[in-house]
Amino acid sequence: MHVKNKNINKGAAFFSIVFGLLFFLLFARFLFIQVTGVVDGQELPVLAEQKYSKSKIIEASRGSILDRNGIPIAQDTPAYTVIAILDESKTKNISEPNHVVDPAQTASKLSPIINMSVERLQELLTRDKDQVELGPGGRGISYKQMKEIQDMELPGITFIRDTKRYYPNGKFATHVIGFAQKDESGKVIGRQGLESTLDELLQEEDGVMNYKSDGYGIKLPFQNEEIIPPQNGQNVFLTIDHKIQAFLEDAMNRVETDYSPENIIGIVADPKTGAILAMSSRPSYDPNNIPPDSYMLNDAISLRFEPGSTMKIFTLAAAIEEGVFDPNEEYQSGSYTVGPNRVRDHNNGQGWGKITYLEGFQRSSNVAMAKLVNEKMNADDRLLNYLQAFGFNQPTGIDLPGEVNGKLLYRYPIEKVTTAFGQGTSVTPIQQIQAATAIVNGGKMLRPYIVNKIVDPVTNEIIKEQKPEIVGTPISEQTAKQVMDILESAVSSENGTGKPYRIEGYQVAGKTGTAQIPDPVDGYMRGHGNNIFSFLGFAPKDDPKLLVYIAVKKPKLTIHQSGSQPVSAIFNSVVKNSLHYLNIKPTTISDEKEAKVEKSRGIELDSVVGKQADRVAEELKSKGIDVFVLGSGEEIFEQIPFPSSVMMPGEKVLLRTEGPYLAPNLSGWSLRDVLKLTEILDLKPNFMGNGFVHKQNISPESPIKQGDYLVIEFIEPNPTINRYKEGESDLEDTKDDEGMEVESATEVEKPLD
């Protein structure tokens, strides 16, 4: 019989006790965790929630800024940041590397695309880091740049998707729109213009989606996710009309190239509502690529200066309202004494002998205005009261940042006289626009505005909408009508200084201005071209659709050029194209005038709708007109420009026949001609840059149809050799094309303060 070893029994008992204690401890621990839900001070439900709960950002978009027809002027667009992976451990298969293998070659290929030096890129690509961002050139690049880099299949180069603020038209109402940029936290913030003042409305707020996932991050089925929807910024619709703004920008670009002025200011308004249809100034900049020394002020509202003879409009209105203006009464022109000071007409005080006050206004006589104020209105505060009623003593309140007030100089007798013809007193262009609305609206003056409405981007609900606002009635309806008639005569009369602003087929009313520029050393600047040349005009005169103010400061003029040439080059181009665009038909002109137009100014287009395209094209080409026929049909369905338009040799006429249509080669086309194409085919334009067509998104001879997006990149031409010659700046008393002497502000001796 085998006897058990006592030691075995003791060992078994020991291990039983040990395992029993361990089981008890584990059970007690399990029970503790089950009851408390806490491990090492960490709550297990919280840890589980963190491990299996995921969040995903739902990106929102900053509100867009659009023209009155919904064409974007500022909007968010996809952008990409270039990332370089430098950590070799990211590569699992040497034949398919996931890191930058050859920094020198990679830098060489990336350099021309993201506009960074090879040396700088090599320095970034050889850093002792896992990955680097290739900024600043590699930050915020376009989809096109991203695809170009992607197609090169560079090892280790990848991208992070982002958005950036994009201005599709480049230098386009820049000082109105301003710009927005990312701050240190990556949030887009408005910095200038409407982007800044409307920042609270335009700001977006990203949304979040919370959901449960498994250990691999895959969303679990049958789980209700929690969604906090994104809040997109509000869309802002402006009163600006994209095409009229484009006409203004195009004309200003040409004058900037040809005359190299110090400043240009242009405003186009609807005189019956106060809505601003276009506003621009030079110098300007492209908000997509802002040079460090860019000029940021919106001179249309932020620059006050002595306006010159455009102020005579409102002096005339005051005199008519007071009943002291007799257009047939005669006075002695030339010079006029006010106390110790002498006022002279702009032709060196020679004058034109004894003439009527009507002719004096047409000739822009300073003496006429001085006598009206000093003798007829007794040089008291009556003129000041009218100028204040016209709003020259306070800002207009236009919904744009940075507006300054005018400064009425009206203390001494000579200041009261000089203010009457626009010297001494300084005002802003937008103040002149506001005051001029009273001439159109029977004496009722309208506040200018540029924000049309604020719209919810999701529901399209109009949150806020602006309406025309009457801010005063400085003159009566009868006075306003008489002023308009006289302003028309200043353009149509053979004596009128406004002759360069005539537009065939349309009656234009307006007043020229030639203001002296203060010189801190010698009172006022002297020399040919050292003035601010301007024109304030309405068209058509009997039912004005456009109110336009153009000012050009210190253009480089030859001895044979007058200040009206750069100003009229902008005014006439903008008005003619805008009236055609607004479908305002020109009035019929006589056979005699038609012959004169054809001989001296161009060819007036007849209606060619319904005629054979080949014959019409051949006939127009024989007259020097550049013709482009759209479609393959024989009969013309539509033409642009419209009938009665006056065409100059080299201008383009577009004729639409039966489709289908192929995209033309637009290389070298001007903005004006591209707009003709978008109008006749009802395309959606998206323009970048300025000047003439460089690239187009629809290849030549490719199909094109109504509603297609036409993306055009413009480049500015090489600056032409300016005809201005050094040494001519001191030449004075230059005559314009009609033989009239260029008006200059009166020379007076100012009393000391």
Instruction: List, by residue number, the catalytic residues.
Output: 309
55 burial type by CB count under 10 A (0-12 exposed, 13-18 middle, 19+ buried) = exposed
CA atoms of 516 and 536, how far apart (whole Å): 17
Task: Answer yes or no: are the C-beta atoms of 239 and 272 closer than 8 Å.
Answer: no
Dig out the tokens for 638 from the structure: 């539509």
| Residue 742 CB partners (closer than 8 Å, separation 6+) | 346, 514, 562, 563, 564, 733, 734, 735, 736
In order, the DSSP letters of 552-581 are EES----TT--THHHHHHHHHHHHHHHHHH
The Cα 163–Cα 230 span in angstroms is 15
Is 249:280 a contact under the CB 8 Å cutoff? yes
Nearest Cα neighbor of 253 from 677, 716, 567 is 716
513 to 37, 269, 310, 417, 423: CA distances (angstroms)? 86, 19, 5, 16, 11
State the Cα–Cα distance between residues 687 and 700, nearest whole angstrom: 17
Lookup: tokens for 490: 């200043």
Of 302, 301, 284, 303, residue with least CA distance to 293: 284
CA distance 741 to 727: 21
Nearest alpha carbon to residue 80 among 127, 106, 114, 119:
114
Residue with tokens 């484009």: 246
Structure tokens at 261: 């002025």
Residue ranges with strand state E in 86-187: 131-133, 157-166, 179-182
| Torsion sign over Cα 587, 588, 592, 594 | positive
Q: What angle do CA 622, 625, 631 make, to 5 degrees?
A: 100
Whole-angstrom CA distances from 222 to 43, 45, 58, 213, 225 are 26, 20, 21, 11, 9
Q: From its phi and psi, is residue 501 left (phi > 0), alpha (psi between -120 and 50) or beta?
A: alpha
